[in-house]
Amino acid sequence: MLAIIDHIAVAVFAVSGALVASRKQMDIFGFVLLGTVTGIGGGTIRDLMLGAGTVTWVQQPSYVMICILAAGVAFFTAHLLQSRYRVLL
């Protein structure tokens, strides 16, 4: 159950980064880049500060795939929403 919540949280953060890319009218590469950095950035900083050794997303590449998928979905659907941030909240 905890792993599912962790994956959902990564997806939500990736979408929030992708929505910033949407506001800046970036291409799909910008969406994926900002979505991935936002999605896995917090966990990376956490692991580095705790001295956990290998960063979680390096051990489990599913986190990166979730970020890419979430940013891709946001790229193709962001223009359909009137208020992008209201939907995320």
pLDDT for 80: 75
The model's pLDDT over 35-68, given as tens digits with 9 standing for 90+, comes to 999 999 988 888 889 988 888 888 899 999 999 9
Q: What is the pTM of this model?
A: 0.83
Asked whether the beta carbons of 9 and 66 are under 8 A apart, the reply is no
Residue 45 is encoded by which pair of tokens? 């900083």
The model's pLDDT over 18-41, given as tens digits with 9 standing for 90+, comes to 988 988 889 999 999 999 999 999
CA–CA distance, 85 with 87 (Å, rounded to integer): 5
By residue count, the chain amounts to 89
Q: What is the DSSP string of 14-33?
A: HHHHHHHHHHTT--HHHHHH
Interacting residues of 85 by C-beta distance below 8 A, sequence separation 6+? 19
If pLDDT is split at 50, 70 and 90, which confidence band does 83 have?
low
